[in-house]
Amino acid sequence: MKVILIQPYYDNIWEPIGLGFIASYLKKHFEGELDLQCFQGNFDTDEEILEACNGADFVGFSCTSPAWPHALRLSKQIKKISPKTKTVVGGFHPSALATECAAEESMDHVVVGEGEKAFFDIVSGNTSTSIVMGTKLPMEELPWPDRQVIRNERTVALAESMNGKRIASFQCNRVCPVACSFCAERVVTGKMNRKTNPIRSREIPELFDEIEHVIEELDLNYFKFVDATFDIS
């Protein structure tokens, strides 16, 4: 099975940590041989991305709204050169505008919400619907994001070249306790409810283990959190 993950181009670039979680979950649960690669529009040309996608079984995009036009353009080109390749799109933009994204002929599946299990189900042939609802998994069921697949060293090197700081991102929580009108967090993780959709947090020792591991692996001297609201406790 050949699977390509893509973060389309956008001026503000960080490592695609969401795709890192999807990659690690897929590698943990998929049975069989898996050729899994990841590309970023800020580092890889369209020609390089399309060459990798030619003959792929599945191509998955992760999109915010500014990145959607590039994803759509790539998906149309992929369908021309590799018609049998199935395309999947998830992230903030598709979660907010699922019906609109699903109406595009070059997109086979739209994932709404958290994408780890949904993408695994699609790749495993367990769903045929165009719009696939994500599953809110407990944080302890999510393996660490696969930073080798997403080639995290590229964004670390970019940060160092721009400001002298070697930085990588970590996620501690999912679901936010507030619902700011300008924020799209709730379209992915849902509106916080103590009973039906509580804040899901990682165990602190387990989080520290990942941070220590990545500091050593990528020679970090800074790190940041991508949580919607980090200081909830």
The secondary structure of 206-224 as a DSSP string is HHHHHHHHHHHHHT-SEEE
Report the pLDDT value the prediction gives residue 200, as an integer from 0 to 100.
Answer: 95
Q: What is the separation of C-alpha 81 from the centre of its chain, rounded to a whole number of angstroms?
A: 24
Residue 223 has pLDDT above 80, yes or no: yes
Contact by Cβ (8 Å): 12, 22: no
At 142, give phi and psi (nearest 5°). -100, 115
What tens digit of pLDDT does each residue of 115-156 get? 999 999 999 999 889 999 999 999 999 999 999 999 999 999
What tens digit of pLDDT does each residue of 152-205 get? 999 999 999 999 999 999 999 999 999 899 999 999 999 999 999 999 999 999
At 35, give phi and psi (nearest 5°). -100, 105
Report the pLDDT value the prediction gives residue 111, as an integer from 0 to 100.
Answer: 98
- Supply the pTM of this predicted model: 0.96
Report the pLDDT value the prediction gives residue 233, as an integer from 0 to 100.
Answer: 72
Confidence of residue 97 (pLDDT cuts 50, 70, 90): very high
Q: What is the mean pLDDT of the chain?
A: 96
Residue 232 has pLDDT above 80, yes or no: no
Rounded (10°) CA dihedral 86, 169, 35, 111: -20
Residue 230 has pLDDT above 90, yes or no: no
- CA nearest neighbour of 113 among 131, 128, 130: 131
Confidence of residue 102 (pLDDT cuts 50, 70, 90): very high
Q: Residue holding tokens 């501690």?
A: 172
Rounded-to-integer distance, Cα 201 and Cα 83, Å: 41
What tens digit of pLDDT does each residue of 6-59 get? 999 999 999 999 999 999 999 999 999 999 999 999 999 999 999 999 999 999
